[in-house]
Structure 1
Amino acid sequence: MQIEKPLIINATEPEKLKPILPKPVILSTPVTGWNGFYFAYHRQLNHKIPETCPDQHISAICIEGFQANMKINKQWQHKSYAASDVAIFPAHQISPAVEFEQELGFIILCLEPEFVHRAAYESVDADNVEIIQQLQSHDPLIQQIGLALKRELEISIIDSRLYAESAANMLAVHLLKRYSTRKLIIKEYTGGLPKYKLKEVLTYINDNLEANLSLAEISAIAQMSPHYFASLFKQSTKIAPHQYVTKCRIDKAKHLLAKRELSILQVSHLVGFQSQSHFAKVFRKYVGITPQAFRANF
């Protein structure tokens, strides 16, 4: 008798997942250009998933409670999941077959193994650390990361890369700290960035506000891992890198709007927003009025 092999799944090949996830994905990030992090939000109905072996580390977050049958050690077991439950399926490890009994919504967060290594390479030898599979775990932080990303990406995917990458780095470090095969202590650094490195980073950010900046790109200027850099940057500036970039973009937008030489669409593009509607929402959040109302005062 031929033994069925686990289905290899890869977040960069979503078309190949249609047999097990037949309904179209509702919300997802691009499969390229995001430095090894992928987000997807699904709603599926009574679907079945065979044994799988993912190429990425997968964190699955329930949107609501549900019932499922799971094949563990060749035996089917009935399991109940609460809305706050998460499951973690490490890369290159076999995940059990599952039969879902109802329609459900769930968030999938996928990290390339290399992404996890980059996130904290000063703190731990991530190449020699194995993530432990979790079929059911109560983890408020992972749930919070997933739901926050969903809210952000629903507003604008194209303008949310830096925010998403920052959240993904937090997830990577959390997986290493809580779910690795050996107890890890991620080093905490204090004192902020050296002044010369902070100056280099701030100059780079302000010179490239129109670009789709990433945390990996900015941290590379300081020659640090994203986790290490983000921690020290916040100590130096009192805000996270993605918040600082947004603040700089809004400050520049105010200057350009006051000059009245460019259209609001042109201004939004020059400060790094590809979506004018998203630019207007962020501008109003920071300034208290819309770009149109701000310009009308000049």
Structure 2
Amino acid sequence: MQIEQPFRINAAQPDKLKQFLPQPLIISSPVAGWNGFYFAYHRQLNYQLPETSPFQNIITIYTREFQAKLKINGHWQSKSYAPTDVGIFPADQISPAVQFEQELGFIHIGLEPAMITRVAYESVNADAVEIVQQLQTHDPLIQQIGLTLKQEIENSGFDSSLYIESAVNLLAVHLLKRYSTQKFIIREYTDGLPKHKLKEAIAYINDNLDQNLSLAEIAAIAQISPHYFASLFKQSMGIAPHQYITKCRVERAKYLLASFFIC
């Protein structure tokens, strides 16, 4: 007797989910993602999924209350979900088959394992990081991050990649702190970035203001993880990296506009 294998979900290939979804995705991030991050939002009615196993770590955020049936250990079980409930489905782990019988809204956030490792490497043994599956958990912070990302993408499109990346790094840190099999302790820094690293980062920002800067590439200049770079940069400058870049771009636009009228 042949055992049916779980369906492999790849957030980088959202079109392959069409066979299960009655309605198309409303929002879907570019296939390339943002440094290992994927976002999707959709509303569905009366559909079901077989057992699945994702390539990425998938965080599912529910935007309204609903009922669902999950097949756990061969038996269907009914569950009630509230708008502040979320599901966490780690990469390469099997998730149960599920049936939805009501209209519901989903936010899906996909994080590549390498991104979790990148966030973790300064605090734990990154090679042994493992996220614990949560079929249903109450987590207002994850809910808030998901809704903030949705609002930012709807209002600003996919151009605010550095702001989005900062929010996703916060999400990754939260997953490691609350849902990792290892104890994850945030290191406390109080002195900001070393002066030479701050100078290098600022120079890189000013030299590339016309580019689509990412938090990861700026953090690489300082040779630290994006999460710690964002924290230390804010301590040094008083504002977050994405706010600083926006300020620099506004100042440059003012300068260019003034130069135009002088000419």
Please report the TM-score for the alignment, with normalisation by the length of structure 1: 0.85
Q: How does 1:102-121 map to 2 (within 5 A)?
A: 102-121=102-121
Secondary structure, counterpart of 1:22 in structure 2: coil
SS in 2 for 1:67: strand
Note the C-alpha offset of 1:217.
0.6
Q: Determine the structure 2 residue equivalent to 1:228.
A: 228
Other structure's SS at 1:136 match: strand
For 1:86, the equivalent position in structure 2 comes to 86
Specify the alignment match of 2:101 in structure 1.
101
Residue 112 of structure 1 aligns with an amino acid whose one-letter code is E
AA at the equivalent of 1:62: Y
Residue 142 of structure 1 is matched in structure 2 by 142
Please state how far the C-alpha of 1:2 moved relative to its aligned partner.
2.4
Contact 1:42 1:106 in 2 (8 A): yes
Is contact 1:29-1:157 (8 Å) kept?
Answer: no
Give the structure 2 partner of residue 203 of structure 1: 203
1:188 and 1:21, CA in 2 relative to 1: closer, same or farther beyond 3 A?
farther
After the TM superposition, which residues 188-199 of structure 1 pair with which residues of structure 2 at under 5 Å, given as runs? 188-199=188-199
C-alpha contact (below 8 Å) 1:120/1:228 kept by paired residues: no
How many residues end up aligned between the 2 structures?
261
CA contact (8 A) 2:142 2:171 kept: yes
2:45 maps to 45
Q: How does the TM-score come out when normalised to structure 2?
A: 0.96
- With 13-22 and 198-207 compared, the bigger mean Cα shift is at 13-22
Aligned to 1:11: 11
Alignment-derived partner of residue 22 in structure 2:
22
Distance 2:158 2:76 in 1: 42
- Is the Cα contact below 8 Å between 1:57 and 1:113 reproduced in 2? yes
Residue 76 of structure 1 is matched in structure 2 by 76
**Identity across the alignment (%):** 70
**1-structure distance, mates of 2:41, 2:244:** 28
CA RMSD of aligned residues (A): 1.2
Preserved contact between residue 120 and residue 176 of structure 2 (Cα < 8 Å): no
> Could you tell me how far apart the structure 2 residues matched to 1:233 and 1:201 are?
9
Task: Please state how far the C-alpha of 1:35 moved relative to its aligned partner.
Answer: 0.9
How far residue 85 of structure 1 moved from its aligned partner, in angstroms, is: 0.6
Is 1:167 paired with 2:167?
yes
How big is the shift at 1:33? 5.1
SS at match of 2:67: strand
Structure-2 separation of matches of 1:157 and 1:175: 26
Rounded to whole Å, the distance in 2 between the matches of 1:243 and 1:119 is 21
1:246 match: 246
CA deviations on 1:127-178 (whole Å, 9 max, x unpaired) are 2021000011111111111000001100223311111111111111111110
Note if contact 1:9-1:53 (Cα within 8 Å) is conserved in structure 2.
yes
What residue number does 1:157 align with? 157
Q: Find the aligned partners of 1:142 and 1:77 in 2 and give their Cα distance.
A: 25
Higher deviation after alignment, 117-126 or 78-87: 117-126
Structure 1: which amino acid aligns with 2:24?
Answer: P
Task: Tell me how far apart the structure 2 counterparts of residues 40 and 225 of structure 1 sit (CA, whole Å).
Answer: 25
| Conserved 8 A contact 1:192-1:236 | yes
Structure 2 unaligned residues grouped into runs of 5+: none
Counterpart amino acid of residue 247 in structure 1: K
3-state SS of the aligned residue for 1:260? helix
Corresponding position of 1:259: 259
- Measure, in 2, the Cα distance between the counterparts of 1:98 and 1:248: 48
Native 8 Å contact 1:53 1:92 kept in 2? yes
* 1:72 positional shift: 1.1
| Equivalent-residue separation in structure 2 for 1:52 and 1:158 (angstroms) | 28
